[in-house]
Structure 1
Amino acid sequence: PLKLHCEVCSIVSSSGQMLGREAGAEIDQSSCIWRMNNAPTRGGFERDVGRRTDLRVVSHTSVPLLIQKPQHFFGQGNETVYVVWGPLRNMRQDGKGIVYNMLRQAVENYPHARIYVTTEERMNYCDTVFKKETGKDR
């Protein structure tokens, strides 16, 4: 299981709301920085969103975007922890989960990559909370 402890945590969305805020230096001072999916930290975004990423929460739909730039996301020197979530049909571990298979290949190519997937039980819990909060099935 993944265990992290952070004194001060910054959670940076990927919605573009941070653009123009120049909060990068403040974000980078946090002991842990969480980002979503493949939100960029390079290419001119550093001033607004910071440079560091300690943990990246990744939707099953965004995994192919990470796989397109594996050296950037999983390459040597990248200490980011990836937590990937998705429905069982994509995350199943019996060889039929297309996203899980992509992640296995990434770990084979980048053995130092720190990639975790949510359990089926945790996904069921998250689906229940989502439905309770929104009234919608995911």
Structure 2
Amino acid sequence: MLGREAGTEIDQSSCIWRMNNAPSRGFERDVGRRTDLRVVSHTSQGNETVYVVWGPLRNMRQDGKGIVYNMLRQAVENYPQARIYVTTEERMNYCDTVFKKETGKDR
């Protein structure tokens, strides 16, 4: 991203996702100013974190058999102020495709 001066174009997107703790301050010319959503691993958290979780269907099943989904439901009950969202496997596959197309690399 550095040196591409794509910040203005990025800021015009309908939703801007940032990954982990990647900095944007000081790099606005290249990466833009907006952040609508920050996707983090369990090791990079903060008070303002919005959690977007995905995983294999077997773990995210909503029929009572998805172990990760069940843990997330419990977390929402225990921490109602937390902003926790689940995205679909299909949506993550789409994001992976876009990432690979734009960077030439697999996530």
How does the TM-score come out when normalised to structure 2?
A: 0.48
CA contact (8 A) 1:91 1:99 kept: yes
Structure 1 position 137, deviation (Å): 9.4
Q: Deviations over 1:38-87 (max 9, x none)?
A: 99999x9999999999854245999xxxxxxxxxxxxx993321111222
1:109–1:96 distance in 2 versus 1, CA, 3 Å: same
**Higher mean displacement: 82-91 or 52-61:** 52-61
Structure 1 position 126, deviation (Å): 3.7
Query: Secondary structure of the residue that 2:98 maps to in structure 1?
Result: helix
| Alignment coverage as a number of residue pairs | 107
CA contact (8 A) 2:54 2:89 kept: no
Among the aligned pairs, what percent are the same residue? Answer: 97
CA contact (8 A) 2:53 2:84 kept: yes
Structure 1 position 36, deviation (Å): 4.9
Q: Deviations over 1:93-128 (max 9, x none)?
A: 111111111111100000111011112330342455
Alpha-carbon RMSD across the aligned residues, in angstroms, is: 6.2
CA contact (8 A) 1:59 1:86 kept: no
